[in-house]
Amino acid sequence: MKAYPPPRRVVVTGIGVVSPAGIGLDAFWKGLQTEPQRRRVRTIDDFDAGQWLSSKEQRHHDRFTHFAIAASEMAIAGGLPDVDPDRAGVSLGTGIGGINTFEVQCGVLGERGPGRISPFTIPMVMPNAGAASVSLRLGWRGPCETITTACAAGTHSVGAGARMIFDGRCDVVLAGGAEASINGVTVGAFTKMTALSETGLSRPFDIGRDGFCLSEGAGVLLLEEREQALARGAHVYGEIVGTASTCDAHHITAPSPGGVGAAACMRRALDDAGLTPAEVRHVNAHGTSTPLNDQAEAQAVAAVFGPGAVPLTSIKGVTGHGLGAAGALEAVAVLLSFHHRELPPTMGTTEVDPALEVDVVLAPRPWEPGPTVSNSFGFGGHNGSIVLAP
């Protein structure tokens, strides 16, 4: 009978971030503390793909892949271990993939006919293009996987990447999420669903919350086996100590009543980490600013940790909702909170809904870093939770 090695420890030794709140760690952290403009659609207007890609490469990749490559390059900029390419993996999530390219090529089809469709359309549109392109650039031949669990994809991909190391499949993994799905179809569709904020404000857990602000971006973490990272003297931002994934099996868009699915996911993540709810010092919420989702998540947090028992934050007041990139961006925020010993404010929120029994952080709060649960929930009933520790 084959003997399996014990689970290994996984640390974060590099971070890359592209977001409406800022590009790069310093700009992103500063952005999380800055009052956002009223914009129901939040694009990254100062992103220059030319810093990482040639003109030819830019033409042959969708914008979401531009983001994935840029964030991955930032994550490895501080150095890589002497890695066996067969034990180096990529785990990148996306909600929709190259839908911008798809919309453009549909226009080409209608206006100029099938003969003028780009031969690069399929490799630009496919959701796995981001992960595949990162692996190709680095020559990494280990697992290269894409998770498309809607708005839970970024968190699921970080958890899956950590599992590759926990289970001994890899020694190093780039994990996170990328999304660039702002176009006429998606904005129109979310508007028809009444999911977008009419006010242009994302106000997680606020009594006046009226929907999310659609955004784009990418967050990528360099994950390593802990002993390897310490041996090479790498800077360690934090550790991933637990992961979990569940499904509500309730409704294609609405959360299960009372947040029972989200609560089950958080409990499983804590069990995986070997922690009790009392040991958790912060919950980074999915916090979309939609009435039903914020209510369900608040009920779940109160059920797991107790009413008002743990500080709760959401960065979507600044970043907007990056769909498949959201969970990865939020993991970045947690890791920076460890570094700065401070919880960022839940920007946009001014009056917490009194029906929600949660301690929402409304101003920067000095904080002794400790185990943090980061949540993501997606259409389809997907729930993802990871537990990070300093």
Residues labelled catalytic: 151, 286, 321
Query: E-assigned strands of the chain?
Result: 10-19, 22-23, 41-42, 88-93, 144-147, 172-179, 214-215, 217-225, 238-247, 282-284, 311-313, 342-343, 359-360, 365-366, 372-378, 382-389
Tell me the C-alpha to C-alpha distance, in Å, between residue 218 and each of 137, 241, 251, 267, 332: 17, 22, 28, 27, 10
Contact criterion met (CB below 8 Å) for 84 and 152: no
* Cα gap 376→142, rounded to integer Å: 26
Q: How far is CA 61 from the centre of its chain?
A: 21
Name the β-bridge partners of 312.
283, 360
CA-wise closest residue to 388 among 341, 349, 331, 345: 331
- Amino acid found at 364: P
Contact criterion met (CB below 8 Å) for 139 and 313: no
Query: E-assigned strands of 88-133?
Result: 88-93
CA-wise closest residue to 63 among 173, 211, 186: 186
The torsion region of residue 188 among left (phi > 0), alpha (psi -120 to 50) and beta comes to alpha
* Cα gap 248→381, rounded to integer Å: 5
Contact criterion met (CB below 8 Å) for 89 and 162: no
